[in-house]
A and B are shown apart, each in its own frame.
Chain A
Amino acid sequence: MLLIRCPYCEQDRAEVEFSYAGEAHIERPVDPSAFSDAEWEAFLFLRSNPRGTHFERWVHIHGCARHFNAVRDTVSDKFLMTYKAGKPRPTKREIEGAKK
């Protein structure tokens, strides 16, 4: 059972309080009609699926119900950091800093 820090509640809570919501920082285009089929496919379906650092979204569904972002290692499943929705993708240095 993962332990997840909700950046809104500022608490470490058990995984069962949360729902996963897919990869983070995939912005919905303002005008999807301007997208080609290939671009739209990429938006809909292509995900980075890395072995390692993954930026992803979670919802504190049985808590504050807020969506937030997390950086997690997909090999160890360890959360490196979480941050509020709308915040930019953390830099490598910020992630390293959060590890300590």
Chain B
Amino acid sequence: MSPSDQHSTALDLPPHMRPERSFQGLILALQRFWADYGCVVLQPYDMEVGAGTFHPATTLRALGHKPWRAAYVQPSRRPGDGRYGENPNRLQHYYQFQVLLKPSPPDLQDLYLKSLAAIGVDAALHDVRFVEDDWESPTLGAWGLGWECWCDGMEVSQFTYFQQVCGIECSPVAGELTYGLERLAMYVQGVDNVYDLNFNGRDGDERISYGDVFLQAEQEYSRHNFEHVNTDILFQHFKDAEAECQALLSAGARQMEEAGDGIHKVVLPAYDQCIKASHVFNLLDARGVISVTERQSYILRVRDLSKACGEAFLQTDAGGAVAKESQNA
């Protein structure tokens, strides 16, 4: 359970796995660190999301009283941040490494600092700071207090004590860490352009850069997001996802009534539709076809969905509900 003692430092690794020369090495080091702490290391959620927080392993599992520890990489899409591959720092698709610990352990700050050490950030050499940042996600009806974590003036992580998610008070409070992987990697690899990151830690012909993997995608998706995306279809998708989410929640509630066990039957699929609505909204927003006033109402509509999903989740096993003796049996 104690990761620091036996856990391998960056120096024990073969060169191609070291975080300071390999993007994937950095990811693997973080996974190893949090696996040693007892987290379930999950894989990315198989849907388009704006941030690692949307993964049900964070949003939904932050609710209810059951303890939970998870760590995972999540590709995150911010359509409006696309720069056609021309900006060295901004991407419309990037990776977050997400850790959720419920309840938040008393030594979470120390754990975070140890995880930095594990990827080669030496606190005797670098200026690590916790700078106030109140986190809020209007679409998730969520907020928390915490910090931006700075390393030599660069924001490398978000550190949040969740107070509310899906409009529901967190009880107990979960601690969330979000590492900006590209930024961290650029820092430890000492490169100025994200596309120059060494992805696989190899040299010469074997070297694969971040640009080799993602540059074309950034260009194409920027065109897609800003020029080609069919907004009529998106508006329809939004409506469909919203209706489907509500319909699934009703169906699950109906089945709960029939079973009489107090356990909601269709929460996770409903939440997928909430995620979808949120992403479609981001795309529409990036296209600039949503006015300021409409924008607020779209945000509220997604929030209503996430709230309904969160409330339903509390009526499931993972949400901490215990099935009542079935009265219909």
Q: Do A and B come from one complex?
A: no
